[in-house]
Amino acid sequence: MENCAVILAAGEGKRMKSRHPKVLCEVLFKPMLEWVIDAAHGAGLNDLCVVTGHLHRQVEEFLRALAARRPQFPPPEHVLQSEQKGTAHAVRMAQDFLRRHSGGSALILNGDAPFLSPEVIGGALRDHLENGRDVTVISAEPENPFGYGRIVRDKTTGAVAAIVEEKDADETTRKIREINSGAYWFRTDSLLPILSKIRNENAAGEYYLPDAVKLLISEHRRAGAFKTQDGSVVLGANDRGQLNQLNSIARGRVMARLMADGVDIPCPDGIMVGARRRRRARHPRSAGLHPFRQHQRRLRLRHRPQHRADRYLRGQRLHPLQRPLQRGIRRGRRIPETVYRAARIKTCRRQFYIKAARSRSAAKILRGIFQMNFHGKDIKIFTANANPHVAQQIAECLHLPMGKSEVSTFSDGEIAMSLFESVRGSDCFIVQSTCAPVNNNIMELLIMIDAMKRASAARITAVIPYFGYARQDRKAKARDPISAKLVADLITTAGADRVLTMDLHAAQIQGFFNIPVDHLLGAPLLSSFLKERIGGHTDDYVVVSPDLGSVTRARNFAARIGCPLAIIDKRRQKANVCEVMNIIGDVKGKRVILVDDMIDTAGTICNAAAACVETGGATGVIACATHAVLSGPAIERIKNSLITELVLLDTIPLPEEKHLPNFTVLPVAPLFAEAIERIYEDKPVSPMFV
């Protein structure tokens, strides 16, 4: 049986005081969890299971995004530890995963220990197998062993006799320098039965994994330790200070490698570098890096350039907002001195600002990120209360801070809005879905647009991932309002200069606006996810349109993933009530992929799933939609339906009580971030979907 790894990533990390899980805090612009996954992959471990807990949805979204970037590796599985009751309890959550790998060996490691290398993991596994052990502890001798469990060895055989925690150690034991790193190789068949024997008879009432080693030793199983010479493998981060230490160590290692490759770094202070991949880049002789530089990911210097101060590279290119400078730097030329001649530089709380007198010289370094703006206006991202999580993700994708604003209500229910920074001359993007409560969210958007218009913003773009009232786009009967047109007029009159939205219920709504509308499609995100899931088995799947109105959408979706198309003829008796009539196409013996733009009360999608299975003979149903409205009886209907998996985008925030186990939610932030970047640079948005 193939070996596997279980990564413990459920911890909250209270002392980090972060809005992200601790394992997603970054070391050299790279989440600690990604360091650990890379180490496991580098050691030849492809079957991974990540135990999530605190803010688990963020970790799960990160794992999905990582899997999409690395199709050569199987996507890591994840299980939820809903209550954090210790490391052994976390491993218990992965018992089903471990049982599937019975007969092999399992690596248990922490998701916040970024310096555990593939060489150490591989060396420990060889030592574990050659000695026929039931458990091998990866140990080290750091400079300061305080706080770590000590490895007590048998004086005769050298085998591990005990792991003694700091609080339980006597003076003799505290003198031992060999400590437990928190990473273990277990024989899977030995680990599974011992997990149920671990007790929580301690002050914290938690189940600790070192007790598994103690129990195995008590049963006369073979236990040993693989001691690595690299003391940094034990290092983790529980607060910002420790995270800074990890960044300093990692940065020093990268700088040492660069200098070993012949890169001239006369003053390392002020140079920020990112984590390098394992394949080394070749740098020409006399290439140099100078202070006040940031670099993320892989660095490859051109022929003899001197990369001097106040410029920011990401990979082999500039930050997206600096691309006008890209050509000059790639050729090794300095930026013309006139760009900086009028600049005034000051420091405040370790942040750098450059303000220039001319519009073409406008530049800003904020929190160490160099932003160039050749339109003469800054770019700023704001949000109201509808979907702040997506707005924050968009800002992070663009490496920008969130705009400082607040939207609240007065005691009588009226909306109050405050801007806490200047937007004069800025290119402002307001992220606000007009989802439930629809009318409140629309008013928040209108009031924020009006406030920015009166504050002299140069351009205001309303970023509306989900556009409410879109289904009221025509007069279905006499004296019906066309509410979608009314909302479009309100947004235009309030002062918006442009609208950026996704998957309007009817494409003609774009014509309701008298301002430019950029209409993004959710199909590329959904189809990419499902295409990876399907692999080469496209003949086993069929894309189904749940009604005649979605045929064009389903046809394009089917073409993207290379599957045949079927159509369900559905007739609606009254509002929010539908009846499935018959299926046009062959779904017998196949897995069905139902495609729609939104799921409201879920009547259409659930009836379609039932028709495909009960009438058409389909073997399973996967449903996907851009907008998860999920009003009224939607959750109960989906829970009792024949849908095995529902894939959604996060254009509408999904409350915890509405999130079912078979839901998969994909982030839209990267797509919106790219569109915002293109709008800012006056580039077309349509090539994103070609």
Phi-psi region of 513 (alpha: psi -120 to 50; beta: other; left: phi over 0): beta
Residue 615 per-residue DSSP state: I
Contact by Cβ (8 Å): 593, 624: yes
d(CA 459, CA 482): 28
Contact by Cβ (8 Å): 168, 98: no
Rounded to 5°, the CA angle 267-305-361 comes to 85
Give the three-state DSSP class for 148: coil
Buried b (16+ CB within 10 A) or exposed e, 343-367: beeeeeeeebebebeeeebbbbbee
> Do you know the residue count of the chain?
690
Active site residue 570: yes
Q: Integer distance in angstroms from the first to the last C-alpha of the chain?
A: 43
Give the three-state DSSP class for 208: coil
d(CA 604, CA 641): 11
d(CA 272, CA 369): 10
Hey, how many other C-beta atoms are within 10 angstroms of the C-beta on 26?
A: 18
Cβ-Cβ contacts under 8 Å for 216 (sequence gap 6 or more): 134, 135, 190, 194, 223
Contact by Cβ (8 Å): 542, 584: no
Complete DSSP assignment for 158-200: --EEEEE-GGG--HHHHT---EEEEEEEEEHHHHHHHHTT---
- C-alpha 396 chain-centroid distance: 10
Complete DSSP assignment for 574-593: ETTEEEEEEEES--TTSEEE
Give Dmax over CA atoms of the chain in angstroms: 95
Residue 458 per-residue DSSP state: S
d(CA 514, CA 210): 66
Catalytic annotation, pick one of 570, 574, 590, 683: 570
Contact by Cβ (8 Å): 355, 631: no
Backbone phi and psi for residue 380, each to the nearest 5 degrees, phi listed first: -140, 140
Rounded to 5°, the CA angle 315-321-325 comes to 75
Pairing of strands 288-289, 160-164: unpaired
Pairing of strands 379-383, 459-464: unpaired
Q: Which long-range contacts (CB under 8 A, 24 or more apart) does 330-334 make?
A: 330/302, 331/302, 332/302, 332/303, 332/304, 332/305, 332/306, 334/306, 334/308
Half-sphere exposure of 220 (CA within 13 A, CB side): 0
CA-nearest of 395, 386, 671, 384 to 519 is: 671
d(CA 304, CA 133): 53
d(CA 174, CA 159): 19
d(CA 3, CA 46): 8
Active site residues: 570
